[in-house]
Chain A
Amino acid sequence: MSATTVVFRRIFRLIGSYTLGLWAGGTAAMLVVLSLSDALSTSQFASLVSLTRGSIAGFQLALSLLAVTFFFAPLVMAGATRRAVVRASLLTVAVIAVANTAVFTALLALDPRVLDDAGTAGFALLGGLACFLGGGVSGLLLGASLSRWGKSRNSWLAVPLGFVPLLSGLLATPEYAGEAWPIVACVSLVISLTGMLAYNTILTNSPIPKKK
């Protein structure tokens, strides 16, 4: 088994289990809210599923950040190369983003409050992927910046830039970008891919300092 596979399993187990828990708990909560709103006949209610997009992306950011800050040094000390950790964490974020997009699309299709079926599927797939991948990549970038530079001046520049993939993904909605949302989503995906390259550059040259 290669080092990348070993590391991928470790990171995926952490992020995957929490993501699964979030979807399971979140779906249960949504079902309760939807049933209550039906009982109250409040027709003003928007699609709850579509509202979860931002929070899921934020959650992915937090998990990716934790994965880098907690796993990076111990995994390298345990015998993996930085490259192996970088590859494994990028693969994890990509797989989780695709899985999130699939679940998001499925739930959106099931949501009775969503009216425009044709447009919704496209938005769920492209907009969802841009947002979830952006969240994961932002978390990796923030984790890498903090691991590499800590509280130094470089972090002041790197940390705000780290949020760009997430923010660009969040903007890829008809609400913010109007009819140009697919273009914004594509730009966001390109930003996320660039972020992945930056993450690779930051971490593969990073020293592993002693824990204080």
Chain B
Amino acid sequence: MTGFSISTQDLGVSYGTKYNSATGLADLSLTLQPDTIHGLLGRNGTGKSTLLSVIAGLQRPTYGTVTVDGENPFESERLAQSICLVRESGDLLLDQKVSSNIRLAADLRPTFDQAYAHELMDGFGIDATKKMMRLSLGQRATAAALIGLATRAPLTLLDEVYIGMDSPTRRHFYDELLRDFVEHPRTIVLSSHLIDETERMLENVVLLRNNRLLLNENIDSLRERASTFSGPRIAIDEIAQRFDRASIVTRKNLGGTSSITVIARVDLETSMRANQMGLTREQVPFDLLFEHLTDRRTVVEASVVEATQQGSES
């Protein structure tokens, strides 16, 4: 079984009434390739959970379309069995045993591996004979994530499932997820705030900002798009002029030295000039890049940079 592809066209979700509505998502068009681990990133309230809910067929979009493996996921029997969304809240039957929840998933999902699910529960120290409500919140979240993993659904969506887990459990879960993905490739979408922890697993990044799609890009090419130049202030000023103001996200001055972080492709000429002037060029850590990209004030910061430049000139 291979993974499913996802496609959305002008997708939008609004909440509330006509007179008092809030935007969940706006004009979102994207395509996600199958058999890839995608990271769905964005700050709180930018529509990550809403997007996953729509993809999983848990709610209808207000406008636009979504297709998973070429079909609308809302009330599709084939896709209901093949899309597994695990949310932070767990969504398991709390008054039933963990083993009973495993049996339910096995009965409803053809790809579910019951033996693997029990193996995972043992490995993570979760007693499958206990009722869900007898488990701690962290254990419940872990049990739900493990059942989602054992589902081996062609499309697995993990929405902040790691929040309730402690640090060693999270790392163990990531390792297990990667190991199983290699053995059973499928499409996985991870929504997370823990960028530094999940970064190593991601092949593609979907970034939401202000409830809209900011970018949908391969993580390596995204990393290449961000650089920090540091060196003498005068040389930095010259390099800074080669970039669009909005693409310079930070500038720091310390005595006669200065550094700028730019999110833009650096052409060969600029790169050579920077070398010539003895500037240091470093890749921006991904969590910092995420911080800049998702910051609503990024454009404002560019104007702050302008003010800083004017200040330094005077």
Contacts and interface: CB of A to CB of B under 8 A. Distances in A.
A79 B58 contact: no
B84 interface: yes
A74 B80 contact: no
A81 B49 contact: no
Contacts of B92: 74, 77-78
The range of chain B's interface size is: 20 to 34
Given A3-B108, A6-B108, A207-B58, A77 B81 contact: no
Contacts of B109: 78-79
B60 A211 contact: no
Interface string A1-43: 1010010001000000000000000000000000000000000
B282 to A, nearest CB: 40
B93 interface: yes
A113 interface: no
Contacts of B88: 210
Given A6-B108, A211-B89, 12 more contacts: A1-B107, A70-B93, A74-B93, A75-B104, A78-B91, A78-B105, A80-B80, A80-B108, A81-B75, A81-B77, A82-B75, A208-B53
Contact of B108 (A78, A82, A208): A78
Nearest to B90: A211
Interface residues of A, number: 24
30 contacts: A3-B80, A3-B108, A6-B104, A6-B107, A10-B104, A70-B94, A70-B95, A71-B93, A74-B92, A74-B93, A76-B58, A77-B85, A77-B87, A77-B91, A78-B92, A78-B105, A78-B109, A79-B108, A80-B108, A81-B80, A83-B75, A83-B77, A84-B77, A204-B75, A205-B60, A207-B53, A210-B49, A210-B87, A210-B88, A211-B89
Interface string A54-85: 00000000000000001101111111111110
A10 B81 CA distance: 17
Contacts of B85: 77
Interface string A138-154: 00000000000000000
A79 B58 CA distance: 11
B59 interface: yes
Contacts of B91: 73-74, 77-78, 211
Interface of A: 1, 3, 6, 10, 70-71, 73-84, 204-205, 207-208, 210-211
A15 B88 CA distance: 29
B52 to A, nearest CB: 10
A154 to B, nearest CB: 11
**Closest 7 pairs (CB-CB, A-B):** A79-B108, A207-B59, A211-B89, A77-B91, A208-B58, A6-B107, A79-B109
